[in-house]
Amino acid sequence: MSRKANIIFIMADQLAAPALPAYGHKVVKAPHIQGLAERGAVFDAAYCNSPLCAPSRFSMLSGRLPSEIGAYDNAAEFPATVPTFAHMLRLGGYRTILSGKMHFVGPDQLHGFEERLTTDIYPADFGWAADWERPERRLDFYHTMLSVVEADACRRSQQIDFDEEVAYQAERRIYDLARDGDERPFFLLVSFTHPHDPYTIGQEYWDLYRPEDIDLPAVPALAREDMDPHSQRLHDALGLADYALTEARIRNARRAYYGAISYVDAKVGRLLATLEAAGLAEDSIVVFAADHGDMLGERGLWYKMCFYEWAARVPLIVAAPERFGPGRIAQPVSLIDLFPTLQDLGGLAGLELPEALPGRSLLPLMEGGEGGPEAVHGEYLGEAAVGPLLMIRRGRYKYVLGTDSPPQLFDLEADPQELSNLSGQAALAEVEDGFAREAAQRWDLEALRAEVIADQRRRRFVQEAQLIGAHTPWDFQPIFDASESYARNTRAILGDLENRARLPYRESPAPDGPGALRRES
């Protein structure tokens, strides 16, 4: 590429890597994502750094773990002073554009993006703050099992409304980028809310799957008493005992989820086709990822909020045919590695950052070499917990430790379904001791718990005050100036304006004859 590559980053919400055909799923239909995988680098062990929407996204954008930036839960403020990869790319000469969900909380709703094309689907205030001091209380914003019980096809939903707008605005902006004459490369982040629950999808995508083809969870539901303590709290917070989770209801929920993946896949196809039609495909790198996964009934759990593979392992695919060929990468990586990776992909390795980041560029791995992170670290600091839940993935082993939960140690090569907790086994004592020492050096569980609780109290106090009297919301308001749209007398001559809006552009031919009238300037 003779100039810096454009980068289009497509995000799905709550899309578990094991649910994609690119990662071995036999039922789900996602041909466009599969096509990306066949011509790009596929990371087989990519993890979110927090299995919850806002903390995962803030961590990914900043390249730092959630506890370092106060990204505790879905109502934690993302401070405006935290640099993001959008700031980095913008300083490096990129146009930075966001269409869709980022779940920014707080007054700053841009965080380095020069343009934001849509509002968000979720609120920007502190109303969804967790409360670790009252773990027995089920808060209004918690997921419930109604999404499973009521899973079905629909004609329209809030999620469909949102994603249709996200796709439309992104596609139109791609055409604008091809026509507007700005020579800067662009970074466009297109973030969909599907396949996030509720488990409902349009009839077209529901009908892609037959009930008898829908696979049941590979690991059946565990009785509450057989669950680890954190899973027991999830059981209670989600109300897993409130409804009979019959085989039919589980199949319906998974069918709707698979249909939602196919819906996202169709949007991916449209975006790639738009890049091609706009003449930008050859100069563009495509990244596809998700913020976290969905348990989808595995072990009897749903949604996310834990570090089992279906909740924590995410798809990560990077297609840049002019930079590297297709391949699969087994080394564990995480979303915080995207900051330095985008810096390298954007040709900005020399750009000085205000502080060192823990992530490592994945470009050497994608080019067939060595590098990347030594280990993956994760933190869950949100609802349905009473203290931090922490994860370390190194090599074949995953180690999970919680405030009141006994350690879990899994050998993911021998036991990919995480059926055997190897903690306490003499044969792995050295491995476990190494994980325990690392966790103790990295985290002070009690200090972190106290810090989170203090922050929860402050946010609940502020939120209560903010709702009294006149309320000024922080939710992003897209700016639309109709005076700069289409044909206006304050803009160029009509014929020139229409020609410039035409893609591909063509020069108007010179007149063949003298004409009867002259155009006035």
Q: Which secondary structure element, helix H or strand E, spans residue 284, and what is its range?
A: strand 284-290
Cα–Cα distance between 421 and 416 in angstroms, integer?
12
Cα–Cα distance between 102 and 352 in angstroms, integer?
26
Distance of CA 484 to the CA centre of its chain: 33
User: How far lies 476's CA from each of 11, 106, 471, in Å?
Assistant: 19, 10, 14
- Give the burial class of 279: count Cβ atoms within 10 A of its Cβ; 0-12 exposed, 13-18 middle, 19 or more buried: exposed
Contact 380, 52 (CB under 8 A): yes
Say how many residues make up the chain.
521
- Parallel, antiparallel, or unpaired for β 6-12 and 284-290? parallel
Q: Among candidates 367, 347, 162, 186, which has minimal Cα distance to 275?
A: 186
Q: What is the DSSP string of 324-375?
A: ---EEE-S-EEGGGHHHHHHHHTT-TTPPPSS--S---SHHHHTTS--S-S-
- Give the burial class of 170: count Cβ atoms within 10 A of its Cβ; 0-12 exposed, 13-18 middle, 19 or more buried: buried
Cα–Cα distance between 384 and 74 in angstroms, integer?
12
Phi and psi, residue 53, nearest 5° = -55, -70
Does 103 participate in catalysis according to the annotation? yes
Contact 22, 313 (CB under 8 A): no
Contact 273, 366 (CB under 8 A): no
Question: In the structure encoding, which two tokens stand for residue 324, read together?
Answer: 């590297």
CA quadruple 145, 148, 150, 154: dihedral, nearest 10: 130
| CB count in 10 Å sphere of residue 151 | 23
Contact 299, 222 (CB under 8 A): yes
Cα–Cα distance between 250 and 263 in angstroms, integer?
20
Catalytic residue among 32, 48, 87, 103: 103
Cα–Cα distance between 172 and 271 in angstroms, integer?
10
Distance of CA 134 to the CA centre of its chain: 29
Catalytic residue among 32, 48, 53, 143: 53
Does 235 participate in catalysis according to the annotation? no
- Sign of the C-alpha dihedral computed for residues 269, 372, 349 and 104 taken in this order: positive
Positions annotated as catalytic residues are 53, 103
